[in-house]
Amino acid sequence: MPLDTAVNSLGFAKPASETRVVVAMSGGVDSSVVAAQLKEEGYDVVGVTLQLYDHGAALAKKGACCAGRDIHDARRVAESMGFPHYVLDYENTFREAVIDEFADSYLAGATPVPCIRCNERVKFKDLLATAKDLDADCMATGHYIRREMGEHGAELHSAADANRDQSYFLFSTTQEQLDYLRFPLGGLASKAETRALAARYGLSVADKPDSQDICFVPNGNYAAVIEKLRPGAAEPGEIVHADGRVLGEHRGLIHYTVGQRRGLGIGGLDEPLYVVKLDVDARRVVVGPKEMLATRRVPIREVNWIGGGSFTDQAEREVLVRVRSTRPPAPAVIRPISETEAEVELLSPEQGVSPGQACVFYATEGSRVLGGGWIWKGR
């Protein structure tokens, strides 16, 4: 082979035909397009789909990823494009690593984000290890995020399309994982481009709707899933004002989240009230005026730093942070306590910051994702 062999589109100095790539296929249009595109470019593509929960129950969950229908759709795409496809049973792993923590977090008064844990503990851990076992040079996914080469190696960057950007859900990607992963859709300007590619490849999923809910939570009914997983979890208790007044009775803490206003069942009051705290020990929903939701200091732990160097190299760092997936990044200062803990000071107060959510770090200029951590109640 000539010494000046060109680098292919996945960053390897060898022909595409000699580059094996495992594509994580959920059965949706995004990962299907990634697989089809790489196959068309001549790569040695292997599709892998994870069965994450009971196959029979999954068939009734329309619009949820990794359900029975989605496994069928992924297989059809692989057959039509002519590459091998495997289904791996990860039901026990998914339950232990994602679902159980989801239920326990809700019972503890937090608002968990299971999609982050799934990427962290299943897709980018066990599935990535499987890709290496298959002698793949890399693993590609349909996530909308960019991997770019910087001065010191691979960097994570927000997607070109801010409306599709999934950086909030991928903050816990480690440097080692980032070196191995590829995200071919991150540079596309819109989802319309993805669907146009699917139509060009003649994929059966070209018009398939996007999944809206957490894959194991049909119709977004978190409480029903938790009651099934943890019978007796929905014990009633008092709704109390922050000033101590008892205003009514709730139907179980799992039905409420910090920042919630609607559905409290305490109408007829002079002021609008919001959930400001969930007191798990006393089984109380504490409500108060909107200004009580404002927070400037956010304790975080399980920090994953991919911004270069050591997280504790600096006593404080000016960054942008996102404290919910639906919020834009806002100016903040991070003060590390250790390699895995820190306090984040928001320069402008944010409302509804909740334990169990992620706090994701971004560079003050450009699109680089620097990592993040999990919001908790602090000591």
215 in active site:
yes
Task: Name residues whose C-beta falls within 8 Å of residue 235's C-beta, 6 or more positions apart in sequence.
Answer: 252, 283
Rg (CA), the chain: 22
Residue 31 marked in a binding site: yes
Residue 50 marked in a binding site: yes
359 in active site:
no
Residue 59 DSSP code: T
DSSP string, 1-35: --TTPPP-TTS-SS-GGG-EEEEE--SSHHHHHHH
What's the CA angle centered on 367, arms 358 and 148, to 5 degrees? 105
Task: Give the span between the Cα atoms of 209 and 18, in whole angstroms.
Answer: 34
Residue 28 marked in a binding site: yes
Task: Give the span between the Cα atoms of 46 and 367, in whole angstroms.
Answer: 31
Residue 29 marked in a binding site: yes
Residue 142 marked in a binding site: yes
Task: Give the span between the Cα atoms of 155 and 44, in whole angstroms.
Answer: 25
Residue 25 marked in a binding site: yes
The answer to whether 198 touches 184, Cβ cutoff 8 Å, is no
Helix axes 29-40, 191-200, angle to 10 degrees: 50
Catalytic residue among 65, 66, 115, 118: 118
Catalytic residue among 65, 115, 215, 359: 215
For the annotated catalytic residues, the residue numbers are: 118, 215
- Binding-site positions: 24-31, 50, 142
Binding residues for ATP: 24-31, 50, 142
